[in-house]
Amino acid sequence: MAQVLGELLRVHEDDEGRLELAFEAGRGELSLALDGTARLRLWQGEAPPMDLDTALGRTPFELAPARWRTESGRPALMYAGREGAARVEIAARPFALRVCDREGGTVAALGDFAFNEDGGVSATLRSRADEHFFGFGERGGGLDKRGEQIQLRNRDVLMPPRSDARYVSIPFFVGHSAGRAARGILVDAPGPCDFDVAASSDREVRMETRSGGLDLCVFAGPLPADVLDRFTRRAGRQALPPVWALGHHQSRWGYRSAKSVTSVARQLRERRIPTDAIHLDIDYMDGYRVFTWHPKRFPDPKGLMASLRQNGFRTVAIVDPGVKVDPEYPIYQDGRSRGVFCSEGSGREWIQRVWPGQAAMPDFNRPDVRTWWGQQHAGLLDAGVAGIWNDMNEPAGWRRDLRLGRAILPLQSQDATRVMQADPVEAERRGGELATRRQAIPLVSHESVRNLYGQQECRATRDELKRGHPQARPFVLTRSGTTGIQQLAAVWTGDNASRWSHLRESMPMLMGLSLSGVAFCGADIGGFGGHCSPELFARWMQIGALYPFARTHSVWYSRRQEPWRFGSRVESIAREALELRMRLLPYLAGLFRDAHETGAPVWRPLFFEFPETEGLAEVDDQVMIGSSLMAAPVVERGATRREVMLPPGLWWDVSSDACFRGPRRIEVEAPLERLPLFARGGSLVPMQSAVQHTGERPAEPFVLEVYPGADCETVLWDDAGDGTATPARTPLRLHDRAGGRLRLEIGRREGELGVDARPLRVVVHGAGRPDAVFSDGIALAEGDAVDEYRVVEGRVEIRLLDQGDARSLEIDPAP
């Protein structure tokens, strides 16, 4: 039975700017952050809701010195600072909140607070009938979640109905209606929670935690980008990937031996399919014992990885959390003697079935267990593994299974109701002492902190990869996670299938995940389960090569999915798609830098870039890659044309330089060879020539594509790729006076990293045959040499030597 909060009895302002609230049936705390974010916590009894900043090692809430005042008869908590401002009005009977921005506009109105039997809290957010909702982590279905009932509980699952729980739960959403201020809400819960997204009532979002009180934050806009900036400031920003991780990854469950890995690698190079990483799935282990190598099939891991590395490949190895129960297996013995595993209420080790048979599950909530787990990686890392792939960490598992050779059929899903784990906050507080005094750590039920499990494992992994190299940018890939996972790992969306609908669905799924803070995300290219057709593979690779994280992966009993398995036509299409990714590397690296610094995702829905424009919330088969490029892939079988929605402004078809003015819908031809890709008018896209992997020196290191149509500015980042030096930064600016002279300013390069002088080719699209081209005021001659220009198919190409000095270029159109 729901129990209302009852009347607000007392309000007490503490010395630091928090407001303590006492209700008939519980307690609360209201506070504001320096950026104007409002936070409400509610709980029953003594214990406040679990502090996830402490539990997950996040940056603490940046408390602002707010004041409790009454203005024009309304008591409110208020703060106004340089970075943000907010006023929160409180109504006492019944308790309700109104969060207002600096201008006094309502950001959020919240009410109907009630406790459930297990100490969870439900609340209602008022909504406009035309508000659209985005986020919630990794979800199926369309981009706009209005009308859905959503469960957030991490679990292993094959493409469930859209309302079902999936691997990654992020209880955050953005609310947006065209032309109005956007806002965001985070329900910062360690365990499962549920949302009714204007399904039962079109003017309300209902949210409920299942236990543990409520810890809710309201993030103001006005732009969707402002909401993401504030949200990721709270939850953590995208970690910068090592540059090699931005290349293509080739994976398959079924690369059974070192031989098969070597052969795939050799063919990738022979056939010139750009690839940076090869993944080793569970096949490399000995009887699926984590951190071991199969002695026959992988007899010389070090030699294997050295030869891969010599050919420009990094190796990523899978690590599952389940440790085989085997008295002969040193890792199990050691873990057992140190008591690192989760237990059932009775004190018995929590055993469940996964690949190795019976397995014990480490309790990653404890810092000593995370350190222990990290140390187990030594063998992999010494052998030359460059990145770690954390699978099965929801955690997945089953109670019984049927084993038929390589096939394992889970028969009965796990029931973790009696499992206990260390209280992550207490464990954190006790830190290093823990190993000796663990008996004293209070336990909580696994279910109440379930959504943290995979994230804590990634934390153990990342910390280990950074140990001794604080500047390093580790590569960790995870299947499960929750709020803030982007600080620790890239996310792939788990087991999809080789179906057109799953290709189509990957678009909104990745855009939704992106809006939940996870910029580095991707779906298995080609589909994991089932047999991929040549046409589906071609189409999947065209857009997959532009996923923020681009990995081809499949299951062992499906048709092989290396690009050459589908005939030479599809092989060429895949090669070209991956070459495009390599050519875009400077642009992509800049987008990751933006995500890291501002929270703006790499993959953005159209409304994110055009929040004033009506009708874009529904567009989820097109994507903005950064603010300059828009892809409209073909995701329908047999289609060779498609309709494209062009938002306002000029749009250049990248393949033909045809130029269109939006807003409008156009039909484009898209034969199998072609991905419809548009550049926004008024954009500068730094590119390079294609390489086979990111470690290869491109023939042309810097090609600046200029798409006229509006003024714009951007920054080119040069980066050692591994965090060893602060990057160099070259500001770029385009002045596009309609009809008049076009001016490009290349700023002076700044920063620590030395960049050698290099050729630069500036390509100005749609410039026709100009009257004159100037560099720093001096007219250039036509020709192919440095400091000359030529006209190629309606584009002006200028060759320069980039030595890091400021430069300006001007193009006078023909009269």
Residues with a catalytic annotation lie at 391, 394, 495
Residue type, 527: G
Rounded to whole angstroms, what are the CA distances from 689 to 155, 180, 513, 573?
A: 42, 41, 30, 17
From residue 541 to residue 580, the character string flagging contacts with ligand MIG as x (rule: CB under 6 A) and all else as - is: ------------x---------------------------
Closer residue to ligand MIG, CB minimum distance, 68 or 284 = 284
Tell me if 494 contacts ligand MIG by CB under 6 A: yes
- In this structure, is the dihedral angle defined by the CA atoms of residues 13, 14, 19 and 20, taken in order, positive or negative? negative
Contacting residues for 348 by C-beta, under 8 A, at least 6 apart: none
Residues 502-531 that bind ligand MIG (CB under 6 A): 528
Helices (H), 311-466: 330-338, 367-375, 378-383, 424-430, 434-437, 453-466
- What is the gyration radius of the CA atoms in the chain, in angstroms? 27
Tell me if 281 contacts ligand MIG by CB under 6 A: yes
DSSP symbol at 59: P
Altogether, the residues listed in the chain come to a count of: 815
Report d(CA 250, CA 260) in Å as an integer.
Answer: 13
From residue 237 to residue 256, the character string flagging contacts with ligand MIG as x (rule: CB under 6 A) and all else as - is: ----------------x---
Report d(CA 420, CA 409) in Å as an integer.
Answer: 27
Tell me if 495 contacts ligand MIG by CB under 6 A: yes
Tell me if 500 contacts ligand MIG by CB under 6 A: no
Tell me if 428 contacts ligand MIG by CB under 6 A: no
- Residue carrying structure tokens 């940056």: 59
Tell me if 35 contacts ligand MIG by CB under 6 A: no
Closer residue to ligand MIG, CB minimum distance, 107 or 282 = 282
Closer residue to ligand MIG, CB minimum distance, 281 or 447 = 281
Number of residues that bind ligand MIG (CB under 6 A): 11
Q: Report the residue number whose CB is nearest to ligand MIG.
A: 253
Min dist CB 391 to ligand MIG, Å, is 5
SS3 of 216-266: EEEEECCCHHHHHHHHHHHHCCCCCCCHHHHCCEECCCCCCCHHHHHHHHH
Tell me if 479 contacts ligand MIG by CB under 6 A: yes
Report d(CA 259, CA 156) in Å as an integer.
Answer: 31
Among 55, 187, 282, 385, interactor with ligand MIG by CB under 6 A:
282
Sheet of strand 712-718: strand arrangement: 712-718, 728-736, 742-746, 807-812, 772-775, 778-779
The residues facing 762 across adjacent strands are 704, 798
Min dist CB 413 to ligand MIG, Å, is 13
From residue 358 to residue 397, the character string flagging contacts with ligand MIG as x (rule: CB under 6 A) and all else as - is: ---------------------------------xx-----
Closer residue to ligand MIG, CB minimum distance, 90 or 285 = 285
Tell me if 457 contacts ligand MIG by CB under 6 A: no
Tokens of 545: 């090569």
The maximal CA–CA distance of the chain, rounded, in angstroms, is 87
Tell me if 356 contacts ligand MIG by CB under 6 A: no
Min dist CB 266 to ligand MIG, Å, is 22
Min dist CB 622 to ligand MIG, Å, is 27
Q: What is the dihedral of CA 512, 517, 520, 521, to 10 degrees?
A: -30
790 C-beta neighbours (distance < 10 Å), count = 16
Rounded to whole angstroms, what are the CA distances from 678 to 377, 623, 625, 632?
A: 44, 10, 10, 8
Closer residue to ligand MIG, CB minimum distance, 237 or 502 = 502
Closer residue to ligand MIG, CB minimum distance, 479 or 583 = 479
Closer residue to ligand MIG, CB minimum distance, 255 or 373 = 255
Closer residue to ligand MIG, CB minimum distance, 190 or 494 = 494
Min dist CB 352 to ligand MIG, Å, is 13
Residues 311-340 that bind ligand MIG (CB under 6 A): 318
Which residues would be at the binding site for ligand MIG (CB under 6 A)? Answer: 253, 281-282, 318, 391-392, 479, 494-495, 528, 553
